[in-house]
Amino acid sequence: MGIALSPEQIERGYNNRAAVPDHPAWLARWGERSREAIAALAPRLDIRYGPGPKETLDVFLPPGPPRGTFVFMHGGYWRSLDKAEHAFVAPAFVAEGFAVVLPNYDLCPAVSIGDIADEMTRAIAFLLHEGARIGVPAKPLVVSGHSAGGHLAAMLLATRAATLGWPTHPVTGAVSLSGVHDLEPLVHFSYNVDLKLDVPHARAWSPVHMAARTRAPLLVSVGAQETGEFLRQTDLMWDAWPDNRPPGATAPLVVPDRHHFSVVMDYEDRDSALTRATLALF
């Protein structure tokens, strides 16, 4: 918004894998920790919420009645990765007594970013209307996402309650962790070979150009070692929706000593600033 970037600057600012040379080790760690979480918590896997090939979700339940529901949407620039690689976020929230839901979604270029946002709307509507039969309470409901998933979390706050088939907006709070909120720079990013964005659609699917349909708090967070563009994207969202800032927050949550692939692993720690700030949304 208002900043002209060269193609080279866009590539440096948005190519997280190039920015973190050891990203394969981090992705492997995500997978290892996720397999451990699935083995320990025995979730219900691949519950269908919609017609698309990947419109399924996994549900992790605490031993007793859940205190609420935490939904986490994975990243991967809307074109890669899977819920199975993100189960590591579940144990800390299950230990706090919450149900955890990890939805999958179809990926670009088979579908558009707008289609993926619609799929997340279907996932939330499914939980609201069918969650009780699988042990998932409709409220309180906190949605979170990392990278592309952070964009999707913000988009849910810009979705009308009627679209979700609910009388009032059902989301209690949301987290955009390392989210992309203004999609226009991605029109000139190398990954656009899969995203297939043009300027009109990039604007239409950018939360910073939309109005929130609820006053529910949106926690925007980012790793301090992320690229300048991801830091800027976090500030853009903070500035765009002042009425949705969490109570007492005076700035986005910038997590020290974390880059794009390490910051999300703070959800493994029940006592991390990220986990505490997310739990406070309930």
CATH number at residue 152: 3.40.50.1820
- Say what percent of the chain tops pLDDT 90: 98
Split into its structural domains, the chain has a count of 1
Is the pTM value of this prediction over 0.95?
yes
Identify the three-state secondary structure at position 204. helix
What count of Cα atoms within 13 Å lies in the side-chain half-sphere of residue 42?
2
Residue at 159 is within a domain: yes
The domain of 266 spans 7-279
Q: How many CB atoms lie within 10 A of CB 253?
A: 20
Give the residue-averaged pLDDT of 140-159. 98
pLDDT of residue 204: 98
Residue 254 sits at φ, ψ, to 5 deg, of -100, 120
C-alpha–C-alpha distance, residues 147 and 167, integer Å: 30
| pLDDT single digits (tens) 83-141 | 999 999 999 999 999 999 999 999 999 999 999 999 999 999 999 999 999 999 999 99
Going by C-beta distance under 8 Å and a sequence separation of 6 or more, which residues neighbour residue 59? 43, 44, 47, 99, 100, 101, 134, 135, 136
pLDDT of residue 9: 96
Residue at 124 is within a domain: yes
Residue at 1 is within a domain: no
Identify the three-state secondary structure at position 255. strand
**Average pLDDT score, the chain:** 97
Give the residue-averaged pLDDT of 214-228. 98
- Say what percent of the chain tops pLDDT 70: 99
Residue at 216 is within a domain: yes
pLDDT of residue 4: 82
Question: Is the Cβ–Cβ distance between 230 and 147 less than 8 Å?
Answer: no
Residue at 66 is within a domain: yes
Report angle CA 202, 150, 267 to the nearest 5 degrees. Answer: 165
pLDDT band at 2 (very low <50, low <70, confident <90, very high): low
| pLDDT single digits (tens) 240-260 | 999 999 999 999 999 999 999
39, pLDDT greater than 90 = yes
Question: Which residue from 111, 115, 120, 116 is spatially nearest to 141, judged by alpha carbons?
Answer: 120
Identify the three-state secondary structure at position 221. strand
pLDDT band at 151 (very low <50, low <70, confident <90, very high): very high
1, pLDDT greater than 80 = no
User: Higher pLDDT residue, 4 or 102?
Assistant: 102
Residue at 2 is within a domain: no
